[in-house]
Homo-oligomer: A and B are copies of this chain.
């Protein structure tokens, strides 16, 4: 007899970690819609709508605003492996784990990677980036917007113009910020960007939005190889080095998402339905209102934690609004707190990586879970759990302080 296990029956978690977070029920509903063939005109119509919707979310006019069928990491790799030819110089500012990841992916793509580093919990000044641009003259700068590992949001508004001045392309990993913090791609002169659905867009992981502009397309042009099985007769081969990946070959993805509809992968229909709904929900709320909500809820969480006598990690002026790092107090077993939050309250919070592993907790307030009730519930559970684990905050102070923020006249 086959062992088939039981029906899925996941416990009702409140996911208040650095992501993934709970999926908006409207997204799950959209994902339950019936399947279409990938070249069905109704489906290619949905693909075009996804492009139009995602452009608005990215605040860009970029024609090439589409999905990579994979997680956020897949989208990053698609852009880096397509833009980087072996030997190309790539500058990566690293202030946390996800900066390290960009180095790793760029190196595997054959890039000559130059790194500048800053302590986790801090960000780079434009001067430091400019100094490196002047010294290294990279083809590409790859930077993380919000690095959830350190909870810092790198200011980017001056980096794009700097890259233009030094003739570099700018790629931004916006996995943890798209839909939660302002990221006006065109205004900031970002040439390519990648994200995911599972953070500030309230979708499941598995489909990843990307956007790139004509400067990026120009860099890709010599590498526009079409696979032999579908290359139209007589079409010449491109002259540049072949992109090292077939799945992540952006020019081929462009062929698939263009009106030519050149066959590539079989688009992940259900995930595309979900992505479409994620974008619609963000736009229906209005991006500015959404960013304000994330800022308010983040502020309330910080106020609550501080009133509990806890220290917020890192440079508070450059903190991501949607992820908060909390210094684990001396004598408290951080992992025990995380386990007890999950076991006793079914609430997930996280720790971090590398130098911050076991040194901070991380609480996320993103998209569907960026709500007053979610924050207050989390603070109440956190106070109780800390008490069980030997840290006594002033009773009720956290919730009172958070509520006070929500009651401010301009709290909306």
How many angstroms between the C-alpha atoms of A28 and B274 in the bound complex? Answer: 13
How many angstroms between the C-alpha atoms of A30 and B7 in the bound complex? Answer: 8
Answer whether A108 and B265 are a contact pair too, CB < 8 Å, given A8-B30, A71-B69, A206-B207.
no
| Stretch of A16-24, A122-130, A185-193, A385-393 at the chain-chain interface | A16-24
| Stretch of A73-81, A135-143, A294-302, A400-408 at the chain-chain interface | A73-81
Contact between A73 and B247 (Cβ–Cβ < 8 Å)?
yes
Answer whether A247 and B4 are a contact pair too, CB < 8 Å, given A40-B13, A205-B269, A354-B229.
no
Please, which residues of chain B bring their CB within 8 A of the CB of A230?
97, 353-354
Answer whether A276 and B8 are a contact pair too, CB < 8 Å, given A32-B31, A204-B270.
yes
**A242 (CB) vs chain B CBs: closest residue:** B108
**A279 (CB) vs chain B CBs: closest residue:** B4
Contact between B227 and A104 (Cβ–Cβ < 8 Å)?
yes
Number of copies: 2
Contact between B284 and A2 (Cβ–Cβ < 8 Å)?
yes
**A202 (CB) vs chain B CBs: closest residue:** B35
A373: CB under 8 A from chain B?
no
Interface size class, chain A = 35 or more
Please, which residues of chain B bring their CB within 8 A of the CB of A32?
28-29, 31-32
A72: CB under 8 A from chain B?
yes
Per DSSP, chain A at the interface is: loop
Contact between A353 and B245 (Cβ–Cβ < 8 Å)?
no
| Stretch of A46-54, A153-161, A307-315, A317-325 at the chain-chain interface | A46-54
> What's the minimum C-beta distance from A112 to chain B, rounded to whole angstroms?
15
Please, which residues of chain B bring their CB within 8 A of the CB of A10?
33-36, 42-43, 46
Contact between B266 and A196 (Cβ–Cβ < 8 Å)?
yes
> What's the minimum C-beta distance from A146 to chain B, rounded to whole angstroms?
15
Contact between B56 and A3 (Cβ–Cβ < 8 Å)?
yes
Please, which residues of chain B bring their CB within 8 A of the CB of A274?
270
How many angstroms between the C-alpha atoms of A278 and B351 in the bound complex? Answer: 34
**A368 (CB) vs chain B CBs: closest residue:** B35
Answer whether A11 and B42 are a contact pair too, CB < 8 Å, given A70-B69, A71-B265.
yes
With beta carbons under 8 angstroms apart, the residue of B2, B42, B73 that contacts A265 is: B73
Contact between A12 and B34 (Cβ–Cβ < 8 Å)?
yes
Contact between B266 and A71 (Cβ–Cβ < 8 Å)?
yes
Besides A10-B46, A13-B34, A69-B74, 9 other A-B contacts (C-beta < 8 A): A4-B53, A12-B34, A15-B36, A19-B266, A40-B342, A73-B265, A74-B74, A204-B270, A206-B268
- Would you give 25 A-B contacts (Cβ < 8 Å), ordered by A? A3-B53, A3-B56, A5-B280, A7-B30, A8-B33, A10-B33, A31-B32, A40-B348, A69-B74, A70-B247, A71-B267, A73-B247, A74-B74, A77-B247, A98-B229, A101-B229, A105-B246, A105-B247, A196-B266, A204-B268, A205-B266, A206-B206, A206-B207, A244-B245, A270-B274
The 7 closest A-B pairs by CB, nearest first: A206-B268, A204-B270, A2-B283, A97-B229, A71-B265, A100-B229, A205-B266
